[in-house]
Amino acid sequence: YFWMAAHRVLPGLDIYPWAYDIDYTKPGSGWPGGEMAEAYGRVNNLFNKAFPSMNRLRVVEGGTHVIWLNDNDEPAVVWAFNDVTFEHEGTVENLETGEKLESIGSCSLAAHCVYFLCP
């Protein structure tokens, strides 16, 4: 699901919070994601924060991460699938934790995290 969000191809998910059919004879689908609902929610929150800056996708050789360009065709968002060293000069902000690092040339990005890039 993280990979799909990183590529802006999120599927629609059925929701039936009462978890039973209308006639109460069989279980329904319940909340989207079932036992993984918190993980889906985490990715959805990251996607909602990053989406306004996700205008043009750049796929990286090796598939370790993807880079989204903003309206000015500048790198703006990185979705990291693996731990990776990323070339960037400026501020890098982890969207989940809010932690900001100053990067001079390169920085280390953690797997399964999303980052804003600021000049």
* Residue 98 burial (CB count, 10 A): 7
* Residue 10: how many other CB atoms lie within 10 Å: 13
pLDDT in tens, 56-83: 999 999 999 999 999 999 999 999 999 9
Q: Pick 35 or 87 by higher pLDDT.
A: 87
- Type of residue found at 116: F
Indicate the burial class of 118 (C-beta count within 10 angstroms; 0-12, 13-18, 19 or more).
Answer: middle
Whether 60 and 87 have beta carbons less than 8 Å apart is answered as no
Question: Cα(18)–Cα(79) distance, rounded to whole angstroms?
Answer: 34
| Greatest mean pLDDT range, 9-13, 15-19, 24-28 | 9-13
Q: Is the whole-model pTM more than 0.85?
A: no
